[in-house]
Amino acid sequence: MDDLENTTGTDPEDTQQPQAEAKKNRKKKKGNTALKVVATLLVLCIAYSAVQTVYIFRLNSGLAGITSYLGGRKNDTQSSSDSGNGDDTDSTDSSADDSELADPWFSLEEAASVTDPDKDTLSTTEIVDMVSPATLSVYVMQKSGSSSTKIAAGTGFIITADGYIVTNQHVIAYAMEDPDTYYVTVMLPDSEDPVKAEIVGGDEQTDIAVLKVDHDGDLPCVTLGDSSKLQAGELVVAIGNALGTLDDTVTVGVVSALDREIENDGYSLDVIQTDAAINTGNSGGPLINSFGEVIGITNAKIVTSTSESLGFAIPIDTVKTVIESLINYGKVVNRPYLGISVTTVADGAYFGVDAGVYVGAVVSNGPGDEAGLEVGDKIVSIDGVEINESDDIIDVRDSHAVGDKLTFDIVRDGDDKELTLTIGDSGDYEDATYTTDDNADSSNDNSADSSDNNEGQDNEPDSTQDTQGVDNNPFIHK
């Protein structure tokens, strides 16, 4: 019986051996599967990398990506659709188009430029090539024994081939006030050394001055444009001696706004606003339109140090007659002049004082003085025009000519009075002296000592003269 059991029973060792082999086979299959997965993933990664590399290459070469914004770019799908029967010629043309980078669709220069059927619209580089040779750096030098020191700098531009130069009056204020101590030099295009310039004349009201240099042969000069045709958003280029050390600096922008009213040394000016950078040292330089014409004279003096992308220029139309008068007579003539300064008193500024425009200063022996106007008079109307702000007086004055008579309705010490003023010529009052309510005299000329200058920069403006209780409005000269 025992022999039968040993014959028909299964040996434990024989049973364990197949199980171990099966387990080993299963482990081997799992290892093979994992290896296959890793290999597959590796192949996919390589394929993906290859596709990405090709796509990036096509993007860089302009053969793929968003092409609807590129001017002249043909739509590949439409080209294929239009070919229809797979014409070889169409395929060749499409390939030729795709092999070249399409031109950019947008250009700020083109977008902001204006057109005129009678004029060529220029690129920025063409504008610079045209105007830069006639743009100069202007320096004010102080004599010191046998040597000289640069104390102020600005920009100017040549307007005639025989050497007349336009700049800002405040740039050369020192030399105008004291020519024995200070003088002006400019850097001509063909000169390595500064050349001394003669001061022909200056006008504080418009902040314009004219210089003259002697030169053998004709000098390059600018073309003056028409600032009345400017539009907001129009392209403009400024060239100047930025910071007094970086001559021929070019900045580009647009006309941000027109007819911005600013106060400059007690005078009201309507100026062009631009986002082209107008830095210290740019004063007196040209602001140029798309046709290469000077349409403004940049002025860094009226830009505050805290402003950004905010520059101003005096419209060329405003000063054309001033420039002509300075060249012809050395001063501005036939410009209506009232000989008074006014200030606007705000409502409630003083107890018992009505809001309005009051005489703040009178030029001794000037038109206002001779008419009987006095400091403290409230100007109610002029020639029937109600006066609510200083601009109202300017509008009335500028609508008349030298020699015209104006009727002033005023209030003095509570009494109504009527006075007649004969408009004078500003050219006769260049050295006029204003008398204020404290009987202190102040010169109407721009004194060099009233400017805080830094070497290599424009003559900086003096702080604005404010009168307590008058809504912080400075005296406005008339």
Task: Give pLDDT tens digits along the chain (478 positions).
Answer: 455 444 445 555 555 566 666 666 666 666 677 788 888 888 988 988 888 888 787 777 666 554 444 444 444 444 444 444 545 544 444 444 444 555 555 555 565 566 677 888 899 999 999 999 999 999 999 998 888 899 999 999 999 999 999 999 999 999 999 999 999 999 988 788 899 999 999 998 899 999 999 988 899 999 999 999 999 999 999 999 998 888 889 999 999 999 988 877 777 788 999 999 888 889 999 999 999 999 999 988 766 555 667 889 999 999 998 999 999 989 888 899 999 999 888 887 777 788 899 999 999 999 999 999 999 999 999 999 999 988 899 889 989 999 999 999 999 999 999 999 999 998 888 777 777 765 444 444 333 333 333 334 554 433 333 333 333 344 455 5
Question: Rounded to the nearest 5 degrees, what angle is found at the Cα of 136, between the Cα atoms of 134 and 138?
Answer: 155
Angle between helices 88-98 and 76-83 (to 10 degrees): 170
**pLDDT value for 224:** 93
Calpha distance 355→318 (Å, rounded): 31
Calpha distance 248→282 (Å, rounded): 10
H-run or E-run covering 455: none
Beta strand residue intervals within 265-346, DSSP E: 267-274, 286-288, 293-298, 311-315, 336-337, 340-345
**pLDDT value for 245:** 86
Q: Which two tokens stand for residue 441?
A: 């005299």
Buried b (16+ CB within 10 A) or exposed e, 384-412: eeebeebebbbebbeeeebeeebebbbbe
The candidate with the shortest Cα–Cα distance to 283, out of 303, 264, 266, is: 303
Is 477 a residue of the active site? no
Dihedrals phi, psi of 36, to nearest 5 degrees: -65, -40
Of these residues, 137, 227, 256, 283, which one is catalytic? 283
**Alpha-carbon dihedral sign for residues 139, 143, 149, 152:** negative
Helices and strands: H and E segment counts in the chain? 10, 26
Of these residues, 98, 170, 265, 451, which one is catalytic? 170
CATH number of 109-332: 2.40.10.120
Q: Which two tokens stand for residue 97?
A: 């188009």
Calpha distance 311→255 (Å, rounded): 10
**pLDDT value for 200:** 94
**pLDDT value for 106:** 52
Name the pairing type of β-strands 311-315 and 415-422. unpaired
Calpha distance 188→247 (Å, rounded): 12
Is 147 a residue of the active site? no
The candidate with the shortest Cα–Cα distance to 139, out of 459, 477, 390, 472, is: 459
| Predicted TM-score (pTM) of this structure | 0.65
Calpha distance 341→435 (Å, rounded): 10
Of these residues, 98, 203, 207, 247, which one is catalytic? 207
Put residue 426 in one of left, alpha, beta given phi > 0 → left and psi -120 to 50 → alpha. Answer: alpha
Beta strand residue intervals within 336-461, DSSP E: 336-337, 340-345, 356-363, 378-382, 385-386, 405-412, 415-422, 424-425, 433-436, 441-443, 452-453, 459-460
Question: Rounded to the nearest 5 degrees, what angle is found at the Cα of 333, between the Cα atoms of 131 and 462?
Answer: 70
The candidate with the shortest Cα–Cα distance to 256, out of 266, 271, 246, is: 271
Q: Which ranges constitute the DSSP H helices of 205-345?
A: 316-329
CATH T-level topology, domain 336-445: Pdz3 Domain (2.30.42)
Tell me, rounded to whole angstroms, the distance of Cα 288 from its chain centroid. Answer: 11
Q: Are 240 and 279 in contact (CB under 8 A)?
A: yes
What residues does 155 pair with on adjacent strands? 137
| DSSP assigned state of 121 | P
**pLDDT value for 312:** 92
Which residues, at least 6 apart from 138, have a Cβ–Cβ distance to it below 8 Å?
Answer: 153, 154, 155, 156, 165, 167, 171, 172, 184, 185, 186, 197, 211, 241, 284
**pLDDT value for 15:** 55
**pLDDT value for 307:** 61
Calpha distance 416→421 (Å, rounded): 16
Calpha distance 372→76 (Å, rounded): 84
Is 123 a residue of the active site? no
Coil, strand or helix at 254: strand
**pLDDT value for 220:** 93
